[in-house]
Structure 1
């Protein structure tokens, strides 16, 4: 199932990287959004509907 989620994430246009992680999370994805609307549509409409995705957590990176 994890591999299916990994591949499904990579098939999303805005996902630029996906990595297997050890510990609390199984996968980490880097996603580049054009705006807040695209972020909301992708997270709620696409990512959370992928079979095998039980939970998501969003961390927003900013330049220091």
Structure 2
């Protein structure tokens, strides 16, 4: 069975991991802002290419898109995000 784009966009996402790069010195501010977002289940500081990791839970890809575009990427100090969507085997 092949899903049309319209059906696929409403599919359940459940869990995603969002990697964030921040402006230098803004890690704590961004971390604090992430903890205020209801869809963010966990937030972790990282060493390496990315500065923060947020575990999020969303009911649909549309909700995930809204979370990223209207909330997470609008936080002052966020330079870049990368989204990893968890799947079941």
Larger strand percent = 2
Q: Which has the higher contact order (CA 8 A, sep 6+)?
A: 2
Where 2:83 maps in the other structure, the secondary structure is coil
Q: Which residue of 1 aligns with 2:54?
A: 29
Q: Which residue of 1 aligns with 2:84?
A: 59
Instruction: Structure 2: give runs of 5+ residues left out of the alignment.
Output: 1-25
Q: Which residue of 1 aligns with 2:72?
A: 47
TM-score normalised by the chain length of structure 2: 0.70
TM-score normalised by the chain length of structure 1: 0.95
Residues of 2 paired with 1:24 and 1:63: CA distance? 27
Deviation at 1:54, TM superposition (A): 0.3
Larger helix percent = 1
- Higher-Rg structure is 2
Runs of 4+ deviating beyond 4 Å: none
Instruction: Structure 1: give runs of 5+ residues left out of the alignment.
Output: none
Deviation at 1:42, TM superposition (A): 0.6
Deviation at 1:63, TM superposition (A): 1.5
